[in-house]
Amino acid sequence: MNEQRPTDINEARPSSVTHLIGQPGVKESIIVALDSAQQDNRKFDHALLVGFAGGGKTTSAQIIAAEMGTDFIEVLGQSLKGVAHLNALLLQATDRAVVFIDEAHELDKSLQTALYLALDQRRVLLQGSRKGSLPVAIPLNDFTLLLASTDEYQLLQPLRDRMRLTLRFQFYDATDLEKIARMRAASLGWEVEPDVFQQCSIRSRGTPRLVLRLLQAAHR
């Protein structure tokens, strides 16, 4: 059976670390960490992904989960409104699953504290339903936490300290942006004039998200 071709530009993201374009430092760090985790038969290390918006942090997180062959759970930091919501997120993670919190700096400081305590203790505390009842400790599975942020210093130091790996994203050069645009057009089966890729790349301010938006606009 032929695999259905994606139809949306955001659905055609790379699924393998070998297909990542640009960010050589980030790519090498991911490859080393993946090899180590797979050789030792363990989860991927907790990691902090730092860099500008639209730079590929989410794509990299998805690739890590795909390479590890595990579940991927994604949430925006500002969508977590309380400890109960955070606990529900952590409890749904299976062993070695990747929990990805984007814009993690938007997490309330109390939730950041609860998060690093949950990582340390491998459990969360749930309040009993009866009045005056003591909290019940529920163990957590051994999942991977990936935090993405454009401002790492809005994260509490103890939470940053729990991240064993830091991936720092730099702005892309025009050549890499052109390669990203070409690869995405090819995966979608789009017919695009060759000079369109170059024109999109030089107008994208070093940002993959922008080059893909321009490519999509040019294709319409």
Q: What single string gives the DSSP state of each residue in 16-61? A: SGGG--S-HHHHHHHHHHHHHHHHTT-PPPPEEEE--TTSSHHHHH
Query: In this model, does residue 6 exceed pLDDT 80?
Result: no
Q: Is the pLDDT score of 176 beyond 70?
A: yes
- What is the tens place of the pLDDT at every residue in 86-140? 999 999 999 999 999 999 999 999 999 999 999 999 999 887 667 767 788 999 9
User: What are the CA-CA distances from residue 172 to residues 24, 37, 56, 123 (Å)?
Assistant: 11, 28, 10, 40
Confidence check: pLDDT of 4 > 70: no
Give the closest residue to 142 by CA, choosing from 175, 94, 190: 94
Q: Is the pLDDT of residue 1 over 50?
A: no
> Locate tokens 């989960």: which residue?
65
In this prediction, residues 174-197 reach a mean pLDDT of 91
Average model confidence (pLDDT) for the chain?
A: 92
Higher-confidence residue of 77 and 14: namely 77
pLDDT (tens digit per residue) in 183-192: 999 888 888 8
Q: For tokens 């993690």, what's the residue?
A: 104
Distance between CA 94 and CA 141 in Å, rounded? 6
48: left (phi over 0), alpha (psi -120 to 50) or beta: beta
Give the tens place of pLDDT for each residue, 23-61: 999 999 999 999 999 999 999 999 999 999 999 999 999
The predicted structure's pLDDT at residue 150: 97
Q: Is residue 169's pLDDT more than 50?
A: yes
pTM comes to 0.90
